[in-house]
């Protein structure tokens, strides 16, 4: 009887040990979804502004800070994948006009920008380990507005507002770009609606009524690096 019990105990121990060894030796399957950091890097904005059909002089705007983001990537093979993410982008425009008064004509420059939280979704095609192109759409939401006013080269006013209605709160966009093995890439993004809110009123005045303000930006950044 003792020999029988000993044999059963020994067999049970060997079985448990074998199962444990098998579980440890089986490699874990890597997750199909992986995350990357980056977002937009150095960013050059180009705007087209007109008021009541008359073009307003706009100046290209360059910015480095703060353009951050992260993406969740799902590769459907070696040559195609999809992604979605969350980012923070500094976008805006610079306009310059000559405004005539009764005594003199002043040159007025306005710098207007927002920080927008964006939710991009898109598709990427190519060799995902070396070089590929991508495109998609983004839902952007303006969270902080800042404005600087310069008259004849001298700064005369500066302020910022959280969730301002001076700009459109919802900022949808489309984008295309490419990504290389080195981690650097180029992206072009175009906003589908006006930057400035034509319905905004300041007292009895609507300063942006009849103003069309479209923005496109080009950015050199890094993202989607597959390990």
Give yes or no for a contact between 159 and 171, defined as CB atoms under 8 angstroms apart.
no
Q: Is the peptide bond before 118 cis (omega within 30 degrees of 0)?
A: no
pTM > 0.75: yes
* Number of structural domains the chain divides into: 1
Residues 6+ away with beta carbon under 8 Å from 19: none
Walk along the chain (227 residues) and give the pLDDT tens digit of each residue. 444 444 444 444 444 444 444 444 445 455 588 888 877 778 999 999 999 999 999 999 999 888 888 899 999 999 999 999 999 999 999 999 998 776 778 999 999 999 999 999 999 999 988 899 999 999 999 999 999 999 999 999 999 999 999 999 999 999 999 998 877 899 999 999 999 999 999 989 999 999 999 999 999 876 655 55
Task: State which residues form the domain around 204.
Answer: 32-221
Please name the residue ranges forming H helices in the chain.
2-25
Whichever domain contains 133, its CATH number is 2.40.160
Is residue 9 assigned to a domain?
no
Give yes or no for a contact between 195 and 23, defined as CB atoms under 8 angstroms apart.
no
Is residue 226 assigned to a domain?
no
Print burial letters for 160-196: b (CB count within 10 Å at least 16), e (below 16). Answer: eeeebebbbeebebebebebeeeeebebebebeebbb
φ, ψ dihedrals at 5, nearest 5°: -65, -40
- The SS3 call for residue 163 is coil
């Amino acid at each position: 009887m003792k020999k029988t019990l000993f044999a059963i105990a020994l067999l049970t121990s060997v079985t448990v040990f074998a199962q444990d060894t098998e579980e440890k030796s089986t490699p874990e399957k890597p997750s199909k979804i992986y995350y990357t950091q980056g977002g937009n890097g150095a960013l050059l904005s180009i705007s087209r502004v007109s008021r009541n059909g008359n073009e307003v002089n706009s100046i290209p705007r360059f910015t480095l800070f703060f353009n951050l983001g992260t993406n969740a990537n799902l590769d459907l093979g070696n040559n195609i994948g999809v992604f979605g993410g969350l980012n923070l982008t500094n976008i805006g425009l610079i306009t310059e006009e000559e405004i005539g008064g009764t005594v003199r004509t002043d040159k007025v420059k306005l710098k207007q920008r927002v920080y927008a939280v964006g939710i991009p979704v898109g598709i990427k095609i190519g060799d995902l380990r070396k070089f590929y192109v991508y495109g998609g759409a983004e839902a952007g939401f303006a969270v902080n507005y800042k404005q600087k006013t310069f008259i004849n080269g001298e700064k005369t006013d500066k302020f910022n507002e959280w969730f301002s209605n001076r700009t459109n709160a919802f900022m949808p966009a489309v984008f295309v770009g490419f990504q290389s093995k080195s981690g650097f890439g180029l992206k072009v993004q175009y906003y589908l609606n006006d930057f400035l809110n034509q319905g905004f009123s300041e007292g009895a005045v609507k300063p942006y009524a009849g103003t069309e303000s479209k923005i496109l930006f080009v950015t050199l950044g890094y993202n989607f690096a597959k390990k």
